[in-house]
Structure 1
Amino acid sequence: MTEHIDHGPHPYVVNIEEATLTNENFRTTLWTGEKMQLTVMTIPVGGDVGLEVHDDTDQFLRLEQGHGRVQMGPSKNELTFDEEVSDDWVILVPKGQWHNITNIGDEPMKIYSLYAPPHHAHGTIHQTQADQDH
């Protein structure tokens, strides 16, 4: 079983499918380097990642489990991109784009995400979505 701690910036290998599917936290940082970061997320049914923008970070997200609605756009009131995604789909978020992913399925949505450069502090664990606001 995968140890859900931040292993960066040391060399690290992981079965990403196992790490993503066994994560029970809203967000767990698995690896933080100087130029990139890997996190895994669990979004409950009806929950979402949270509408946000990264001014200096591109982001790659992949759904390992679930069904989601992806919205993106130039402002939080102008989400002109709207697509549904499911298992094995990838979402690419350019820096400066407001974005959110909502779980519209009937099971927890399991996601892994790469940020370049890193977005969260080394070792970040958010057990719930509310924890990210503190």
Structure 2
Amino acid sequence: MPHFSIDFVAEQSADFRQVLWTGVHAQLVIMTIPPGGEIGAETHEHTDQILTFVSGAGEADVAGETKPVGAGDLVAVAAGALHNVRNTGVNPLVLYTVYAPPQHAEGAVHATKAEADVAEESGQDEPPAR
């Protein structure tokens, strides 16, 4: 049984993105966005996403609306919605996200956004075929 102390795992991860668990219909991913960094505007046409913020301060843009986010906040992103998350604070913005269905390669770890972008563009970050 996969079991995580999510706050502890999130706070210990310095990687931009780390896939913790991938199931048939959903995926759990930890993200750490450095000060001044962002996820980058993106749309997942067939994937819903729930982002839960563990620490730090930032802004979430979803479908043209912007809200401040911090520890304890949750943002739901419907499939097809243009979205982005920016770190506006002085400390890393740490969050975990659930994708349904999975969005990334099982077990993927990307230390930086640049590394994650290369993996996505090259096709190395494709979710498993189910």
Q: Which has the higher helix share?
A: 2
Q: Report % sequence identity.
A: 37
Distance (whole Å) between structure 2 residues aligned to residue 18 and residue 50 of structure 1:
25
TM-score normalised per structure 2: 0.88
Q: Deviations over 1:102-130 (max 9, x none)?
A: 00011000010000000001111111000
Aligned residues: 118
- Residue 29 of structure 1 corresponds to 19
Distance (whole Å) between structure 1 residues aligned to residue 54 and residue 117 of structure 2:
25
TM-score normalised per structure 1: 0.86
Q: What SS does the corresponding residue of 1:39 show, helix, strand or coil? A: strand
Distance (whole Å) between structure 1 residues aligned to residue 5 and residue 22 of structure 2:
17
- Residue 129 of structure 1 corresponds to 113
List alignment gaps of at least 5 residues for structure 2: 119-130
Q: Deviations over 1:32-84 (max 9, x none)?
A: 111000000110001001111000000001110011111122xxxxxx21111
Distance (whole Å) between structure 2 residues aligned to residue 89 and residue 133 of structure 1:
26
Distance (whole Å) between structure 1 residues aligned to residue 31 and residue 66 of structure 2:
21
List alignment gaps of at least 5 residues for structure 1: 1-10, 74-79
- Name the aligned partner's letter for residue 46 of structure 1: G
Distance (whole Å) between structure 2 residues aligned to residue 64 and residue 131 of structure 1:
23
Written as runs of structure 1 = structure 2, the 5 A alignment for 1:1-134 is 11-73=1-63, 80-134=64-118
Q: Deviations over 1:6-52 (max 9, x none)?
A: xxxxx301101101111010000000111000000110001001111
CA RMSD of aligned residues (A): 0.7
Distance (whole Å) between structure 1 residues aligned to residue 91 and residue 103 of structure 2:
27
Distance (whole Å) between structure 1 residues aligned to residue 27 and residue 112 of structure 2:
19
TM-aligned CA deviation for residue 86 of structure 1: 1.0
Distance (whole Å) between structure 2 residues aligned to residue 68 and residue 97 of structure 1:
19
